Amino acid sequence: MYTTIQRILLPGHALTKRGCEKRTQQNSETPLLSLPSEIRNAIWEYTIGGYHVMIGHAVHGRDAGQYYHKAIPLAADCDNQKLRQRRFQLHRVCQQIRNETVLLMYSLNMFAFQNINVMNGWIKSLSQAQRESVSTLQPPREWLELYEEGKGERFCEKFPGLSSIDISSIGFPKPSIMYEEKCELIKARILTREGKQGLTITWAVNIQIRWHRLLLAVFWLHN
């Protein structure tokens, strides 16, 4: 069921012991992987961080029934979107880079979801290490509506390392309720229920960025 996600966001198939030793030797001789780990980590963070990773479920075509993702730079004014998207494929280069970056991909990016069922399925697919690495989530609108009714599930129990929840997916409320007022109400409910010190609740204040995120969330489902 999670073939596509596992291929991209989860560790790949294990190599044989001999294959690992050969690959490690080859990798250690390349200039990039010969750098000190501190420098490599800085490069990984710059390269694969800052993405809006949107996870969906294919209902048509050859991938019907499978889960997949699209990674789009969070910055609405990114100068080179295609270049940033290619950077997110860094982990495909070799097994060593995949091993060094697979958890960083969870801690350095924001994860959004097509709907609440996709979100729950994705959560179940994660290992404990992956769940502990997730730092920022953008729950779907259905989840935020459940939270308003006092039924929303507490995320900090599933994601111990969670530091931020983005609620931009609430969209545009009824004309009688201002957007900021709506977000403040949801923020208060989430903080009360989660009860985690230091947890931040964010939303797109800038109207251009808000439209950017909402339109992307619609566009990627049809492409």
**What pLDDT digit, counting tens, does each position of 156-168 carry?**
988 999 999 999 8
Instruction: Name 209's Cβ contacts closer than 8 Å, sequence gap at least 6.
Output: 76
Highest mean pLDDT pick, 4-13, 42-51, 73-82, 145-154: 42-51
Residues 56-86 pLDDT 10s: 876 666 656 666 667 776 655 445 455 455 5
DSSP conformation class of 13: P
DSSP string for residues in 17-82: HHHHHHHHHHHHTSTTTTS-HHHHHHHHHHHH-SEEEEEEE--SSTTTT-EEEEEEES-TT-S-HH
Closest listed residue to residue 147, CA positions, set 201, 72, 96, 67? 201
Residue keyed to tokens 């294990």: 14
Sign of CA dihedral 46, 14, 4, 136: negative
- What phi, psi does 14 have (nearest 5°)? -70, 140
